[in-house]
A and B are shown apart, each in its own frame.
Chain A
Amino acid sequence: MESPAGKKQIRKVIFASSVGTLIEWYDFYIFGSLAPIIALQFFPKTNPTAALLSTLATFAAGFIVRPFGALVFGRLGDKVGRKYTFLLTLVLMGGSTFAIGLIPGYEKIGFVAPLLVLLLRLIQGLALGGEYGGAATYVAEHSPDSKRGFYTSWIQTTATLGLLLSLGIILITRQSMAPNSVDSIRIFEDWGWRIPFWFSVVLVGMSIYIRLKMHESPVFSKLKAEGKTSINPIKESLMHRGNLKMVLLALFGATMGQGVVWYTGQFYAQTFLENVCKVDFSQTRTIMIWAIIFATPLFIFFGNLSDKVGRKWIIMSGLLLAVVLYRPIYHQMVNLTSTTESVVDTGLTKIERIITPVSGKGYGLQTTSTLQTFTNGIIEKKVHMDTLLNDGSEKPQVTDRVSKQLPTDRYWMMIGLIFIQILFVTMSYGPIAAFLVEIFPTKIRYTSMSLPYHLGNGVFGGLTPFIAVLLGTMYTGDLLVGLWYPIIVAGLCLVIGSIYLSNVVDKNIND
């Protein structure tokens, strides 16, 4: 039984660890959430797809360096201690996020701009690689054996809540830059997108203050006092056969599949809604926000359940459901946003033309918006932007955007479909921190658990939106072709995990 003082202490530990980790995820995800705008700001404007891919590549760069962060900071955490290591990662993450918000655009400083963005993105990736393992280890080493799944599942909510916070801040900022929405969006796309990056400084400052008050993990302190810490954690993690086999099993039997399920449900779903289903910017974000709000408590539920029934089969069930149901779910998402079998209600069609003069230039900007309401309730907005010369002639360079607004019933059905995908995430991700902590010894735990976690989530998971979009451009005949990547990876992981993992929970992690 836990004493009340013990309970109070563990709550403090969870709060301090979770807030910091949540902020790191927030910092990391605002970049991804603003990918299309960042593409326009920092990458040469050849065509929108190339710009988006370039940004996603930068995004991937942020993910690919995560395993290196896991090694660098994991080593530090196993030698110096958990507390100071994840304080350092927090400072690095906050500093680089703030700095991204300060970089002038490509038009002002040329190629230096994307290079600086890439450099700061790499620092963000390194910092994140060191943060999660520290926070999960720190909480697990404070937790009673019978509630480790429950307590560490609070850390598991932070990635999703960080995404939620980033979506919320972006949405609020985008809508509050000016009294009317057209001007507000224009200002946001011009410079307002920087505000969510600057906001990070406030959050990080608060988190550093909270974390400075925390003590070192008792398990690690004991190990250090006894002089039993590892001399070379990376070597011991990767060169020792007994440990290497567990690192590989954790990667291929658990985190690889969990990573693709996480990024499909919470990132690719958003990309798919916006780019394939053409749902408008705000509705896409609010759909994600509602689904996340409804699904987040399930991380705690499955973490808690794993203390009672074991970790393995909950994780495997999440993977199995994802493999079987992804295609039907995405097929339904396409159907819900389709207008092909619906007729335009001509009585509700509106056409609006705005000409905005550009000061000091011999041309203006003409925006033609056509709003069409379909009989199934979907409102489709086509925006045609053009440069209008003073003699009235139009330049050939034009941009067209299509976005759809879903009626209430379809909007909530869409939230339901995203919720189901996040349910798979909560099943596979909720118990994983406890699972990883339990399979590695204390003296190399930070390094050993961080590596498979960040390879699975960073490389396999982080590349999901990128590879799925790429598959979509290679095989244009199938809208759902991008799903084959997460389905195959999660399927392979499901088979490996089912065969080789054990469902026995290691109660004693103090060794």
Chain B
Amino acid sequence: MNSFKRFMGLVWMVVGVVVYIILLKTAIAQVSVKPMADTIIQWSIFVIIFLPITIGFLIFGWLAFNGAYDKLPISSEEIEG
């Protein structure tokens, strides 16, 4: 199971990058079709807000790939330790 968890960590990193590129491409396409303030604002919100979340997802994938989730902590000492 732990090998699978680690392998999936790699998958999450790839998924994070691919989804963000798709979002970016869609935003550019939509803004060029309708270059109005409303469209620009809407898509800018998506691009900006999902950037830190994508970075978080990449970190999650990286941690999983490195075995950080092989065993979850069951007490605060384990988290802090």
Which residues of A are in contact with B by a Cβ distance under 8 Å? 50, 53-54, 57, 60, 64, 240-246, 248-249, 251-252, 440-442, 455, 459, 463, 470, 474, 492, 496, 499-502, 504, 506, 508, 511
Contacts and interface: CB of A to CB of B under 8 A. Distances in A.
12 contacts: A64-B49, A241-B63, A241-B68, A242-B81, A244-B59, A252-B57, A463-B46, A500-B5, A500-B64, A508-B75, A511-B75, A511-B77
Contacts of A50: 38
Given A57-B41, A500-B5, 12 more contacts: A246-B73, A248-B59, A441-B76, A441-B79, A455-B53, A470-B42, A492-B15, A499-B8, A504-B74, A506-B74, A506-B75, A508-B75
A249 B41 contact: no
A248 B56 contact: yes
B78 to A, nearest CB: 7
B38 A249 contact: no
A100 B28 CA distance: 34
Contacts of A249: 60, 69, 72
Contacts of A492: 15
Given A50-B38, A60-B45, A459-B49, A441 B63 contact: no
A248 B74 contact: no
A63 to B, nearest CB: 10
A243 B38 contact: no
A455 B60 CA distance: 15
Main secondary structure of the interface of B (DSSP, over half): helix
B11 to A, nearest CB: 9
B80 A53 contact: no
B79 A243 contact: yes
Contact of A57 (B45, B56, B63, B77): B45
Interface in B35-77: 38, 41-42, 45-46, 49, 53, 56-57, 59-60, 63-64, 68-69, 72-77
Interface of B: 4-5, 8, 12, 15, 30, 38, 41-42, 45-46, 49, 53, 56-57, 59-60, 63-64, 68-69, 72-81
A500 B80 contact: no
Nearest to A509: B76
Contacts of B68: 241, 245
Contacts of B53: 455, 459
A499 B80 contact: no
Contacts of B49: 64, 459
A502 B80 contact: no
B60 A252 contact: yes
Given A242-B79, A248-B63, A249-B69, A53 B74 contact: no
Contacts of B30: 474
A140 to B, nearest CB: 14
Contacts of A53: 38, 42
Contacts of B81: 242
A80 to B, nearest CB: 21
Contacts of B60: 245, 248-249, 252
Contacts of A245: 60, 63, 68-69
Nearest to A495: B8
Contacts of A442: 76
A57 B45 CA distance: 9
A252 to B, nearest CB: 6
A58 B58 CA distance: 29
Contacts of A248: 56-57, 59-60, 63
Given A54-B38, A459-B53, A511 B64 contact: no
A504 B72 CA distance: 10
A496 B8 CA distance: 9
Contacts of B38: 50, 53-54
A164 B74 CA distance: 37
B13 to A, nearest CB: 12
B15 to A, nearest CB: 8
B64 to A, nearest CB: 7
Lowest 7 CB-CB distances: which A-B pairs, in order?
Answer: A441-B76, A511-B76, A248-B60, A242-B79, A502-B72, A500-B69, A245-B68
Contacts of A496: 12
B37 to A, nearest CB: 10
Among the interface residues B4, B15, B75, which one has the most CB atoms of the partner chain A within 10 A? B75
A240 B80 contact: yes
B48 to A, nearest CB: 9
Contacts of B56: 248, 251-252
A53 to B, nearest CB: 6
B4 to A, nearest CB: 7
B27 to A, nearest CB: 11
B66 to A, nearest CB: 10
Among the interface residues A244, A245, A441, A463, which one has the most CB atoms of the partner chain B within 10 A? A245
Nearest to B26: A474
Contacts of A504: 74
Contacts of B12: 252, 496
